[in-house]
Every structure is written in C-alpha cells, then in structure tokens.
Amino acid sequence: MKKEELKDRIDVASEPMTCEIERGMLKRFVQAIGDDNPLWQDEVYAGKTKYGGTVVPPTFLIIIGNEQFHSYTSEIFASFPNNLNGGTELEFYQPVRPGDKLILTTKLTDVYERDIKVGRATFAIFETSFQNKKEGLTAIYRQTAIFY
Amino acid sequence: MTAELYFEDVEVGTEIGPMIKHPDLRHLVMWAGASGDFNPLHYSNEFAQSKGFPGIIVHGQLAACFLGQLMTDWKGGNGVLKKLTCRYRGVNFPNEDLICQGEVINKYIDHAEHYVECNIWIEQRQEKTVTGTALITLPSRG
C-alpha cells in the first residue's frame, strides 16, 4: 500500500465484532497494572457507589479494542514498518460492567502529513466505537499512528 | 485511593498523585498476556537493541493505563472519568520508577454536571515521557 492510498481507506469501517466483558480477562488486566481499586472487584463496596455494582476500569477498553485494531490495521502497518505511536484518546459515555456485550467497529478517520524530527511523516487516526445494545454508544477509542 | 472526592474539594492547581509504578519484566510479561501485545520490544533486549533502543521498553498502552489509574484512584467511587488523552514523548524503561502525576487546570459546571479538567503526565529519569489530559465529573455537596 502506498501513502496516497491510505486516504482511500477513510471511513471504510471494519466488520462489527461482539466482545463479552469477561471477568478472567479483567482480573489479568488489573493484576498486570497493579490496580486494586475495589470498584472493579468488590461488589459490596461498588454497590454503595453511584455505579450500583462493579464496573471495569475505563482503560480496560484499550484491551478489548486491540484485537480488532490489529486486524483492521495489519495490512497498513505491514506496508509502513517505520511507525510510532502518536497518542491515545478515550471518551467514556456509559460505564461498562462484567458480562456486558459490546459491539466494536474500527475505521480510519483521518490522514494528514506533518514534519517531525526524522522528516516528513504521515499521521493516521483510527477510531474504535464501543456500543452496548441496551445503552447505546459506550465509548470511543482513538489511536494515532505516525508513519515515516 | 481517595475515599470520596467532591467538586468543592479541588481547585485549579490541586495536585494529583504522585503515584509511583515500578514495572519489572514480569509485569511486562503479564501485560503482554493481558493485552495481546507481544511486540518483542517489550521482552527481548536483543530485539529492542536491534531497533535502536538501549534495552526493553515499557508498553505505551501500559503507561496510558497507569495514568488512567492515577485518575480513577483520585476521583473516588462517585467520580466519573469522561475523557483521557495521552501522547508518548519518550520511552519508559522497566525496573525504574515511573512517576505518575497530575494537576487540576480548570473546573466548571455544565448542564448540572461538575467537571474537573486535569493535565496528567509520567516522568522517568527527570523527563516527561507521557503527557496527557483527563476530564472527570465529581459529585457536589450542593
């Protein structure tokens, strides 16, 4: 793929993928970070908060989105092996709870060029949306890739 | 972790943290398993050096999640994280402190919700390796 062809991919969405928020995956996530906030695992504590029960750490959605992101971008990253992580942005609209089923869709939303230290680079913004059937839009995860 | 934090408890300039993380190689392996990121940059010194790094580096997403924890620890059980952004300015190395901190830069009320805007960052070796922002809502005493 050439850089000029990247723009043709803008707004071409992946197939939606359904993910169940699974307790084992959540446990491995909080253990890896070292986050023992009782809001994630203590129903008695969480029941007394505005959430009414345990919820997942907001950044857990990064993990959930990874599989689809890699699938959607594998051809792009293979074409541009010199790449940097340009940043991450997360917007949260609804809490997510263990057992929830979320529908994920990923798409390239923007491509532009900018000069960086090593020369002219192409910036690509990828966006993953997380939808809950009952609650609607739950979160948006944007990642910036820099190809140089 | 903050027991309960109210909108009236914070002001512009209020400091958040510091929260110190000290991931070792085992933590990076745990993160690889949890996240599915098996890039050898994060477990092989030889590979990392072949790519121009002094050695193994910490996953960028793990650093972002540390900043997420900084905010969720601080906001308390009735605060809500609305937005989190991170930019990676430099790499982080394992077996050294990652100092996660933040500062309130704005607070306002909109549609009856009480918002607090923060700058957040990670420092290692006296340099800011990750910078970002966080937006939360907090309960109000009324």
Query: Are B87 and B131 within 8 A, CB to CB?
Result: yes
In this prediction the ipTM stands at 0.92
Mean local confidence (pLDDT), B79-101 = 96
> Is the pLDDT score of B3 beyond 80?
no
What are the φ and ψ backbone dihedral angles of A100, each rounded to 5 degrees? Answer: -60, 150
Neighbours of A112 (CB within 10 A): 10
Chain A partners within 8 Å of B87 (Cβ): 86-87
pLDDT tens column, A123-136? 999 999 999 988 89
* Beta-sheet pairing, B15-21 with A136-147: unpaired
At A95-116, the pLDDT tens digits run 999 999 999 999 999 999 999 8
Distance from the B80 Cα atom to the nearest Cα atom in chain A, whole angstroms: 9
Contact B27 A63 (CB under 8 A): no
Query: What are the tens digits of pLDDT across the range B92-108?
Result: 999 999 999 999 999 99
| Interchain contact, B21 vs A34, CB within 8 Å | yes
Q: What is the pTM of this model?
A: 0.94
Query: Which backbone phi and psi does A2 adopt, to 5 degrees?
Result: -95, 160
Name the residue facing B33 among A28, A35, A59 (closest C-beta): A28
Out of B45-54, B104-113, B117-126, least confident range:
B45-54
pLDDT for A62: 93
